[in-house]
């Protein structure tokens, strides 16, 4: 399937379907497996400075009626030090990006520097800055809705590493274009959107929020029309100036194409893995659907990007 | 996806019955609403939510008529201890059944090996084998001490063969159940019977069992329930419970694995991962 | 069902289930019918200064997979003058509120003044200021995300009329609490939340956005966890200082109770009408469910509010 | 909700055939994917989306084997005119079927009254009555002029009784179809046959028909398709198409209503509403 090779800035991946952060990607074995099962690239779980056990459970609830997931994992991770050891075990052919969260530009710098030093044997294709997690204090959305902070963080990361910097944005914002603009002018190599949408659920018998953290983020099919609009708006504003990675509710080849037509260069998939015993089926269905679509339309993959704007 | 009916959003039910099996272990009963038809498989588990505290994975200990469901919880830490402080009438949130359960298989003899709390899910497979098959059933039931041989009375009331063992020798054989297993398999080699092995207990013990069944080339006929790991989502998404090696999850691909699969799991019996994903030795 | 009588500020309605704006409420006959079929109150379609035909079709699309609606009706309305004539035909027992949109405080004042004068026979229970429609230029969300503009508009309306002023807010915002705070300090009598969430859909064969307006707003079951969180956050911030009307994805009595436990005083229903041949069934199911729940719990309706915060 | 299968998100299909029925009217054919099983009822309509322009409600003019579906569109304004500029192979978005269709009923005689474009949905009920019932069918087919008596040839090829009329006398009876209806009903009173009346056409004409059937106390046996109003959503939500009086919608409660229901609609035959909701005289 050479025709699905995708270029995200300077990064070439074998196909445009990427495993999104926080799904599977906590261990080297799942990252290896996901790549083996067909993803064009894989993203790690977001990693921060210190070990974090995350929020109490329930922290991940599936809502079948709307084929969506409500989660407040709370960025559980073993800290960048232990995690870089984990990532050293990733097979060399696997294209992976490391998702990072932090509360300040120095935190991001510190993590990136450490990763750069530790992962020399198998460099990630990108660092994906999680400026968008909606359910953790002082990080994620807390730093991702202020254009100035976004600028400072991205700039700080860019001076520290040659690895491309991708910036993952939140839809929980009045004007996503202005933070994207900051990120781009600070040198971001790609924009990833969207992270989950602030949401919660209350149990009417116990009369308490279900999530251990009270509130969390919604992902899955419910948010697809919201994610498509974000990508469309970003492409409308920035055109092909910056690669866009579309994420949110993608579960079929049609969904993937919708994002590409809206302006995405590539897409990520998370919640949809719930519907498949092996992601292999999901990824292959999407790749086959994409290929058939391209030959029906007589177009190359790169020609599809942003076509809905014409 | 598994087409089995499943509760995904915690369903809050009152504890209809609560029986202490030992000092730190109790069996909780709940009545499932009539229309759910969950048809759980032995070895599957539920996520049990203690509102205001946490949610933990607990194997189905028994179910009657798809209605009266039981869980046996042993106090190990904060949440399990708090469960034991609850009373009849209190509300608990249930979601499940999750995971991959035990296969019934067509083998003539079922050897069941329980270590400590591992008896809970095995209780369910035992009653299922009794009611649905004609198999000869042999239970090797081990615990640290006599008081922790839960369900002894109930199991003694069945027709199955039981061999008890305790670490401290306070009841039955003084030693690990693995020793008895080895003996039995040795004798079984002489007879011409086929065997299926069902086991649940501390991962170290399961590792011992795997080594033994390997010697007898029985790894494909041995099923292991790994009920000793951190679980968060229950449906294979969040990455918390994935095992090293081929990248299988406990919560969805497991908790029951066959021995030949377990062999590919590189951290089996040696390392676990806690809630933040870091490894700890078992 | 006297026990479901609900007080929203000074407004008493027979039950807490209100028809939300833009569903049905374009004619006096539907408002009468909705009230007759059991709603505790009904809200009119949003009305503005001038007649507006709205956006080209498709402008309302049902998405069955997520039981949600994508719409970009574009505030079609006959203008306040003609609409006030329409509203004069509403039966006198019907409790209705008039939803109003505008681009400036003078526009809101002008419409309210005219309504006040023309509807003396049958005064509305409230004017609901639509500061939240996500798919019309210069109005709705365009004025509803700036706390200062919100303050000016609400204050201007309050000086013009004795009819309670309810303010309907958008979730398409970084911080909904700050606009709510503006509205409340300017004298708002209740906050209504949420309006639809910006969203869109692209047809992959035609490679164009499906909605005539390109982008629109998502409503229905997909947005329930998002709406519940907004009400929870507002109640967390304002407590019982201000009545909250919860709206977004409610389609059952359980959903209604979830909003009430989150902090809503009453709730509105829109998209769920699609699932019922007559809204009567829907409203009665909710009222019955509520009543049974209350007697099981041994509580009065007003005691339920905000219980999930305890 | 109607349990009928329905396309909700516009499904873009190529025009497989396009036949002009007159200068400003054409029939468009599409092939529905095999697995949809929409089973539309005569009188139901689809929303037809002309990308880049608008979406308009169009009655099903014919369907064969749940597969080949036809719509007959008459140019009345911007979008319908643009439809007539399309070609075979162009893409149109379809969603439907929507609304409440015609009842077949158990009456012995079916009287069908078509005015102008009203023949489109009636063509589908006629073919359905022919294939599924033994009824005697009488069609009163009116139009402004000879050229606008669409489907004349096709209908002449059936066994049904047809009475033509034109406003300008260019073919058949010179005058309105209502006059013929009145005559027929008068004669029918003498015979002892039961009648069901199916009508579609300009609302003014339908009003005339309602007045006549009222005289004969046949309002409960008369069905009217109101295909002359502004429709936006198609499923009763947006409020654009609600009729005055009891508050019924065209798009979901209609477009087909029985005469006794129509009587409660206070703006029937007198006012319509445009896209912004203001009233205009019909
Ligand atoms: C599939 C599955 C089925 C299970 N079935 C049962 C059952 O039927 N009955 C039963 O009593 N228990 C069962 N468990 C174990 C039970 O889930 C844990 O004992 C419980 O989660 C511990 O929570 P805690 O808050 O009480 O302990 P914590 O305070 O979290 O930890 C206390 C101690 O337990 C260890 N621990 C933490 N999490 C786990 C864990 N998930 N499993 C084991 N040890 C852990 C810690 O390392 C620590 O030593 C099952 C576990 C799994 C994965
Ligand atoms: C249930 C239903 C079934 C229909 N079936 C058919 C059919 O099978 N074939 C067919 O040709 N037409 C049918 N129509 C009418 C068709 O939908 C309209 O002719 C079309 O929407 C007009 O759109 P336009 O953009 O071309 O006209 P516009 O530019 O919108 O208007 C042009 C003229 O048509 C009038 N008009 C506007 N909207 C409508 C409307 N919805 N209905 C009638 N007049 C309107 C205007 O008042 C104006 O005089 C049906 C309508 C309904 C409600
Ligand atoms: C359980 C879970 C955990 C997640 N953890 C992270 C995370 O650590 N970092 C991050 O950037 N996004 C995280 N996300 C968000 C996803 O990467 C993705 O942006 C979002 O789920 C929308 O995509 P989807 O609808 O395909 O799941 C998480 C999502 C889920 C469901
Ligand atoms: C077709 C449609 C039209 C709407 N029009 C309006 C409107 O005119 N004014 C307004 O304030 N909200 C409008 N809304 C938003 C609803 O009032 C409500 O806030 C939203 O749909 C969420 O509630 P629901 O999920 O119950 O539909 C409209 C919604 C729909 C679906
Ligand atoms: S617990 Fe989430 S993947 Fe297993
Ligand atoms: S067209 Fe929307 S209600 Fe009829």
Domain boundaries D109-228, CATH class: alpha beta
Q: Does ligand 3 come within 6 angstroms of the Cβ of A167?
A: no
Mean pLDDT for C143-168 is 95
User: Which are the catalytic amino acids of C?
Assistant: 133
Strand partners, D17: D29
Question: Residue B192: pLDDT above 90?
Answer: no
Among candidates C215, C226, C258 on the partner chain, residue whose Cβ is nearest the Cβ of A202: C258
Whether B237 is in the pocket of ligand 5, judged by its Cβ within 6 Å, is yes
pLDDT of D141 over the 50 cut: yes
Q: How confident is the model at residue A2 (pLDDT cuts 50, 70, 90)?
A: low
Q: Are strands D109-115 and D45-50 parallel, antiparallel or unpaired?
A: unpaired
Strands D7-14 and D54-59: unpaired
Judged by CB atoms closer than 8 Å, whether chains meet at C58 and D12 is answered as no
pLDDT band at B46 (very low <50, low <70, confident <90, very high): very high
Confidence of residue C287 (pLDDT cuts 50, 70, 90): very high
Q: Which of A19, A21, A27, A211 should one mutate to test binding to chain B, selecting the residue with the greatest count of B CBs within 10 A?
A: A27
C62, C64, C65, C66: which to substitute to probe chain A, counting the most A Cβ within 10 Å? C66
Q: How far is B253 from chain A (nearest CA, A)?
A: 9
Q: Which of A277-286, C180-189, C281-290 has the lowest mean pLDDT?
A: A277-286
A75 touches ligand 3 (CB under 6 Å): yes
What is the pTM assigned to this prediction? 0.96
pLDDT at B1 over 50: no
How many angstroms separate the alpha carbon of residue C17 from the centre of ligand 4?
15
Q: Interhelix angle for C80-87 vs C28-36, to 10°?
A: 40
In this complex, is the C-beta atom of C277 within 8 Å of any C-beta atom belonging to chain A? Answer: no
In this prediction, residues B99-120 reach a mean pLDDT of 93
Residue B244 Cα, gap to closest chain A Cα (Å): 5
Judge if the beta carbon of residue D56 lies within 6 A of ligand 6: no
Q: Which atom of ligand 2 is nearest to the CA of D275?
A: 38
**Chain A contacts of B247, Cβ < 8 Å?**
24, 27, 29-30, 32-34
Cα-to-centroid distance, D255 and ligand 2 (Å): 13
Q: How far out from the chain centre does Cα A240 lie?
A: 19
pLDDT tens string C109-125: 999 999 999 999 899 99
Contact C164, C190 (CB under 8 A): yes
Q: How many A from CA of C23 to the centre of ligand 6?
A: 9
How close C65 gets to chain A, by Cα (Å)? Answer: 7
Nearest-by-Cβ selection for A57 from B9, B232, B239: B232
Predicted pLDDT of residue A36: 95
Q: State the closest ligand 2 atom to the C-alpha of D251, by its place in the atom list counted from 1.
A: 1
Average pLDDT over residues C149-168: 96
Query: Chain A, 55-74: which have a CB under 8 Å from a chain B CB?
Result: 56-64, 69, 71, 73
In this complex, is the C-beta atom of C276 within 8 Å of any C-beta atom belonging to chain D?
yes
Radius of gyration of chain A (CA): 18
Q: Whose alpha carbon is nearest atom 17 of ligand 1?
A: B57
In CATH terms, B7-98 corresponds, of 1.10.357.10, 3.40.190.10, 3.40.50.11060, 2.40.30.10, to 2.40.30.10
B246 pocket-lining for ligand 5 (C-beta < 6 Å):
no
For the cut 80, the answer to whether the pLDDT of residue A35 exceeds it is: yes
Report the pLDDT averaged over residues C224-253.
97
Q: Tens digit of pLDDT for each residue in A124-154?
A: 999 999 998 888 888 888 888 999 999 999 9
Q: Which of C57, C63, C70 to mutate to test the interface with D (most CBs of D within 10 A)?
A: C57
Question: Is there an atom of ligand 1 within 6 Å of B47 CB?
Answer: no
Note whether D275 contacts C276, CB cutoff 8 Å.
no
Cβ of residue C60 closer than 8 Å to a chain A Cβ: no
Touching C: A residues 201-220, CB under 8 Å? 201-202, 204, 207-209, 214-215, 218
- What is the structure's pLDDT at A28? 96
Give me the active site residues of A, please.
133
Ligand at minimal distance from the CA of B98 is 1
Residues of C in contact with D55 (CB under 8 A): 56-58, 212
Q: Which residue of B lies nearest to A269 if distances are taken between CA atoms?
A: B237
Establish how many alpha carbons lie within 13 A of residue D170's alpha carbon, considering only the half-sphere containing its beta carbon: 10
D84-134 confidence digits (pLDDT tens): 999 999 999 999 999 999 999 888 899 999 999 999 999 999 999 999 988
Distance from CA of A295 to the nearest CA of B (A): 30
* The predicted structure's pLDDT at residue D228: 83
What are the extents of the domains in chain B? Answer: 7-98, 109-228
Q: Which two tokens stand for residue A242?
A: 């910056």
What pLDDT score was predicted for residue B106? 86
Q: What is the pLDDT of residues D218-242, one digit of tens each?
A: 999 999 999 889 999 999 999 999 9
User: What rounded mean pLDDT belongs to chain A?
Assistant: 95
Query: Would you say residue D53 has pLDDT above 80?
Result: yes
The pair of three-digit structure tokens given for residue C269, joined into one six-digit string: 């229903």
pLDDT at C310: 82
Q: Would you place residue C2 in the very low, low, confident or very high pLDDT band (cuts 50, 70, 90)? A: low
Chain-wide mean pLDDT for chain B? 93
Does the beta carbon of A270 lie under 8 angstroms from any beta carbon of chain B? yes
**What residue owns the CA closest to ligand 3's atom 2?**
A22
Please report residues of D whose CB lies closer than 8 A to that of C34: 247
CB-CB: which of A223, A232, A257 is closest to C200?
A: A232
What DSSP letter does each residue of chain B carry, written as one string? Answer: ---S--EEEEEEEE--EEEEEETTEEEEEEEPPTT------TT-EEEEEETTTEEEEEE--EEETTTEEEEEEE--SHHHHHHHT--TT-EEEEEEEESB-----S-SEEEEEEEGGGHHHHHHHHHHHHHH---EEEEEEEESSGGG-TTHHHHHTSSSEEEEEETTSSSSEES-HHHHHHHHHHHHHHTT--EEEEEES-HHHHHHHHHHHHHTT-GGGEEEE---S--SSSSS-S-TTBPTTT--BTTTT-BEEEHHHHTT-TTTTTEEE-TTS-EEE-
CB pairs under 8 A between C and D: 132
Residue range B3-31: average pLDDT?
Answer: 95
pLDDT band at D260 (very low <50, low <70, confident <90, very high): very high
- Whether the bond into D97 is cis, omega within 30 of 0: yes
CB of A21 within 8 Å of a chain B CB? The answer is no
| A–B interface: beta-carbon pairs under 8 A | 134
Q: Which chain A residue's Cα is nearest to C257?
A: A204
Q: Which of B80, B232, B268 to mutate to test the pocket of ligand 1 (most atoms within 8 A of CB)?
A: B80
Span from the CA of B251 to the centroid of ligand 5 (angstroms)? 5
Query: Closest ligand 4 atom, CA of D237?
Result: 1
- Angstroms from C82 CA to nearest CA on chain A: 34
What's the rounded Cα separation, in Å, for the pair D127 and D181? Answer: 21
Query: Which CATH number does the domain C6-309 belong to among 3.40.50.2300, 3.40.50.740, 3.20.20.70, 3.30.1330.100?
Result: 3.20.20.70
Asked if B8 lies within 8 A of A33 by C-beta distance, the reply is: no
Q: What is the mean pLDDT of chain D?
A: 93
Ligand 6, residue D250: give the atom nearest the CA: 4
Q: Is the ipTM of this complex over 0.85?
A: yes
Check CB contact under 8 Å for C83 and D277: yes
Instruction: Give the burial class of C24: count Cβ atoms within 10 A of its Cβ; 0-12 exposed, 13-18 middle, 19 or more buried.
Output: buried
| Domain locations along chain A | 6-309
Cis peptide before B219 (omega within 30 of 0): no
- Which ligand gives the minimal distance to the CA of A199? 3
Give the 3-state secondary structure of residue C72: coil
Distance from CA of D94 to the nearest CA of C (A): 11
Section B189-212 average pLDDT: 91
In the prediction, which pLDDT does D1 show? 41
What whole-number distance in Å separates Cα of residue C74 and Cα of residue C53?
A: 8
Asked if A120 is an interface residue toward chain C (Cβ–Cβ < 8 A), one would say no
C chain contacts of residue A307, beta-carbon cutoff 8 Å? 207
What region does B96 belong to: left with phi over 0, alpha with psi -120 to 50, or beta? Answer: left
- A73 C-alpha vs ligand 3 centroid, how far in Å? 10
């Amino acid at each position: 399937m050479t025709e699905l090779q995708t270029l995200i800035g300077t990064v070439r991946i074998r196909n445009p379907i990427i495993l999104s952060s926080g799904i599977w990607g906590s261990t080297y074995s799942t990252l290896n497996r996901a790549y083996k099962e067909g993803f064009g690239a894989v993203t790690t779980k977001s990693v921060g400075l210190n070990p974090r056990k995350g929020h109490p459970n329930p922290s991940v609830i599936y809502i079948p009626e709307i084929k969506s997931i409500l989660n407040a994992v709370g960025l559980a991770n073993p800290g960048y030090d232990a995690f870089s050891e984990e990532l050293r075990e990733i097979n060399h052919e696997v294209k992976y990006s490391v998702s990072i969260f932090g509360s300040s530009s120095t935190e991001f710098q510190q993590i990136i520097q450490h990763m750069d030093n530790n992962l020399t044997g198998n460099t990630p294709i990108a660092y994906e800055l999680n400026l968008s997690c909606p359910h953790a204090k002082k990080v994620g959305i807390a730093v991702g809705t202020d254009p100035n902070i976004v600028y400072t963080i991205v700039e700080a990361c860019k001076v520290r590493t040659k690895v491309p910097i991708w910036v993952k944005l939140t839809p929980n914002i009045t004007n996503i274009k202005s933070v994207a603009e900051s990120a781009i002018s600070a040198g971001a190599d790609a924009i990833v959107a969207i992270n989950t949408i602030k949401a919660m659920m209350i149990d009417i018998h116990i009369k308490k929020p279900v999530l251990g953290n009270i509130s969390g983020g919604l992902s899955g099919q419910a948010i697809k029309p919201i994610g498509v609009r974000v990508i469309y708006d970003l492409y409308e504003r920035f055109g092909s100036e910056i690669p866009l990675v579309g994420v949110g509710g993608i579960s079929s080849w049609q969904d993937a194409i919708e994002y590409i037509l809206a302006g995405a260069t590539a897409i990520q998939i998370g919640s949809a893995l719930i519907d498949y015993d092996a992601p292999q089926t999901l990824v292959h269905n999407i790749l086959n659907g994409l290929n058939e679509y391209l030959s029906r339309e007589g177009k190359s993959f790169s020609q599809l990007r942003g076509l809905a704007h014409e | 996806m598994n087409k089995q009916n499943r509760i995904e959003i915690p369903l809050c039910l009152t504890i209809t019955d609560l029986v202490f099996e030992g000092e730190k272990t109790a069996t909780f009963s709940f009545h499932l609403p009539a229309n759910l038809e969950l048809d759980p498989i032995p070895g599957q588990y539920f996520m049990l939510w203690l509102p205001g505290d946490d949610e933990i994975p607990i194997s189905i200990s028994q179910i009657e008529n798809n209605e009266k469901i039981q869980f046996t919880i042993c106090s190990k830490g904060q949440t399990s201890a708090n469960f034991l402080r609850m009373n009849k009438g209190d509300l608990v949130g249930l979601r499940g059944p999750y995971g991959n359960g035990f296969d019934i298989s067509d083998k003539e003899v079922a050897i069941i090996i329980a270590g400590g709390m591992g008896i809970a899910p095995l209780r369910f497979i035992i009653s299922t084998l009794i009611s649905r098959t004609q198999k000869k059933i042999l239970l090797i039931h081990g615990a640290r001490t006599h008081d922790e041989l839960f369900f002894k009375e109930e199991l003694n009331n069945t027709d199955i063969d039981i061999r008890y063992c305790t670490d401290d020798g306070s009841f039955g054989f003084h030693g690990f159940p693995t020793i008895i297993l080895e003996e039995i398999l040795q004798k079984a080699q002489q007879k011409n019977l086929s065997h299926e092995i069902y086991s649940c207990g501390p991962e170290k013990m399961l590792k011992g069992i795997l080594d033994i069944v390997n010697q007898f080339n029985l790894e494909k006929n041995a099923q292991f329930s790994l009920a000793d790991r951190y679980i968060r989502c229950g449906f294979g998404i969040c990455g918390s419970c994935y095992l090293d090696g081929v990248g299988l999850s406990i919560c969805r691909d497991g908790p029951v694995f066959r021995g030949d699969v377990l062999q590919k799991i590189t951290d089996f019996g040696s390392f676990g991962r806690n809630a933040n994903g870091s490894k700890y030795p078992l």
